[in-house]
Amino acid sequence: MPNVKSQTTTMNPFFTTYTTPFHVPPFDKIKIEHFKPAILEGMKQESAEITSIAYSEAEPSFENTILAMENSGQLLTRVSSVFFNLNSANTNEEIQAIAREMAPELAAHHDNIILNHPLFLRVKQLWDTHESLKLNAEQIKLVEKTHKSFVRSGANLNEADKAKLRTINAKLSLLGLNFGQNLLAETNAYQLLIDKKEDLSGLPEELVLAAGESAKQSGNEGKWLFSLQNPSVMPFLQYADNRELRKQIWEAYTLRGDNNNAHDNKEIVRNIVNLRREKAALLGYKDHASYVLEETMAKTPENAYKLLNQLWQPALNVAGREAFDLQRMIDDSGAQFKLAPYDWKYYTEELRKERFDLDEQELRPYFSLDKVCEGVFGVATKLYGLQFKELTDLPKYHEEVSAYEVSEADGTDIGILYTDFFPRASKRGGAWMTSYSSQKMENGKRISPVISIVCNFSKPTGDAPALLTFDEVTTFFHEFGHSLHGLLSNVTYRSLAGTAVSRDFVELPSQIMENWAAEPEVLKMFARHYKTNEVIPDELIKKLHHTGTFDQGFATIEYLAASLLDLDYHTQTKELKDDVDSFERQSMKKAGLMDEIIPRYRSTYFNHIFAGGYSAGYYSYIWSGVLDTDAFEAFKETGDLFNQEKAQSFRMNVLEKGGTEEPMVLYKKFRGAEPGIKALLKKRGLNLEPEKKVI
């Protein structure tokens, strides 16, 4: 009988070190049937490696314990990075089934490592004696991080409580996975099919063309199909004259996961919240938020609440004035209805045209995706000297993906960047940066990372290329900022590389990049009309800047509302027995949210906190907003957006350092002082007498 394992090993690309250029995953050779065997074998190999470390008779040392752990599990890391990235960016029923099957297995595997008592004793001994071990700063940080991960994962618990923790972790792993799969199913399930041309009134030509193509692909040629993907639903809400249809698609969007069907997420949310609270209590914390925030810049839920509440009333005041203006516009038109949430985007766009003589559709011809890509890369070149070369022959996981070699000005390799821009049924919504391999050092040589940014931008329509909204342009700059954090990482150990920092610091590199997107000097670098190649006119740039604080009351309040909802869920100290919808209503009532606005994410589709790793951490975007606006001021103050002294300081002290030092230490090394809130308030147009320091 043939050796099945040896055949599998030979045929499975995960079982050997990648021989591809730049050691990227061999996507062209990876098949779905390769994932499960590689995951199982990866867990088996890592378990053997961990056992060898834990039961070694040698006295614990950095090399035989911490470094050995750092280098263990390479097969599992290799297959997991591909599998879970594809589950987000290009999934199908088979991949989702494997994910559901493997989630509790992987959770148990992690627990077997982190709850291994002999292993913990070795780590603890090294931490307790680290001052006498002659370790460098980065080694000490890795020992500290490793020790903390054990303690925070239950290493000090008794055996009975460890058993409880294992059960909780297994349940949470599956619940989070189910939440995300339900949301994707709900997003893909809805279609607004229009067969009357008059119902398209107000919609931009590009959106109508895209809807016609979508309808044709679904077997409904001659009609127009709109979906809950952002490039479809958001402009529909912004431009459609038909109020009843706006209401229909808005309700479908805001009721995802809340339809009492097979993909309902309400019970999943309640169970996740209760299990997280139970886990936090088991580990000795007051609530889940206290557990999470201990390892962030905020440190406590109280500090996170403080910043949110400090911004709430000023933002609410501005949003109230915005609502008044929109209602006045409705009344002046002779309509007899009260402003509703599904009216906000529509009448805001009408008010923008009236007040600033700017239709956002005027901007899109200047934002073809190819030109925006040139602009984003061009900013990185001017700031950091980076060069980008497209590689058309590199293996890719989807035909829409592009790959770039990123290098220094002198040609030194930096890493590989994948870009994946358009929505599809196999991809979850939103935009994110991820990695297939993180930067590290081996034998004194820098091993380059493989980074990917995934978005859901407007697709090409007809003869036109993909034309982005300015919001999509900003999203591109944001995610690219994350990618720079991963690409420019220059640390020794993978566990400290790139984005391995706290949630309320990780958004600094991404959000600071957004600031360059709207600068006239930068816009003129890339904003060219896709037909004529004409540079965006000064008059249009002026209009864009005049709208800089327009609708910021709404934007800030919907974000703050979601952040408060997140913290309210995760500061629960008793079992959540209420219906999730009721809890959400009470949370928003307590905050004082106006009826015309709902949280940016309602509970049942709040993927960030229930399936995306941001639990008790959604506040971090505004926390980092204080950092990024203050940091960008450092450039503005010099009179040079590409000031090389500031750029190199930001690169050396933030982008290259990963998690090797405390975030505020790194920030102060760049800026020279802690940040203030003044720049953020100015940027958003929120009138408030600021405190000198807030974070």
Tell me the helix, strand and coil percentages in the chain, rounded to 5.
60, 5, 35
Residue 694 pLDDT level (bands cut at 50, 70, 90):
very low
Share the mean pLDDT of the chain: 95
Range in 98-102, 538-542, 684-688 with the lowest mean pLDDT? 684-688
**pLDDT score recorded for residue 267:** 98
Cα separation, 69 vs 60, in Å, equals 12
pLDDT at 692: 41
> Residues near 164 by Cβ (< 8 Å), separated by ≥ 6?
282
CATH numeric code, 4-156: 1.10.1370.40
Residues 584/628, Cβ–Cβ less than 8 Å: no
> What is the bridge-based pairing of β-strands 450-454 and 413-420?
parallel
Q: How confident is the model at residue 7 (pLDDT cuts 50, 70, 90)?
A: very low
Domain boundaries, the chain: 4-156, 190-254
pLDDT of 2 over the 80 cut: no
pLDDT tens for each residue of 447-469: 999 999 999 999 999 899 999 99
At 482 the pLDDT is 98
Q: Summarize pLDDT for 630-683 with one digit per residue, the tens.
A: 999 999 999 999 999 999 999 999 999 999 999 999 999 999 999 988 888 888
Span 301-355, pLDDT tens digits: 999 999 999 999 999 999 999 999 999 999 999 999 999 999 999 999 999 999 9
Residue 42 has pLDDT above 50, yes or no: yes
Q: What does pTM read for this prediction?
A: 0.95
pLDDT reported for residue 693: 47
Q: Which residue numbers are catalytic? A: 479
* Length of the chain as a residue count: 695
Helix, strand, or coil here: 382? helix
User: What secondary structure does DSSP assign to 475-505, as a single string?
Assistant: HHHHHHHHHHHHHT---S-GGGSTT-S-HHH
Which pLDDT tens digit goes with each residue over 565-609? Answer: 999 999 999 999 999 999 999 999 999 999 999 999 999 999 999
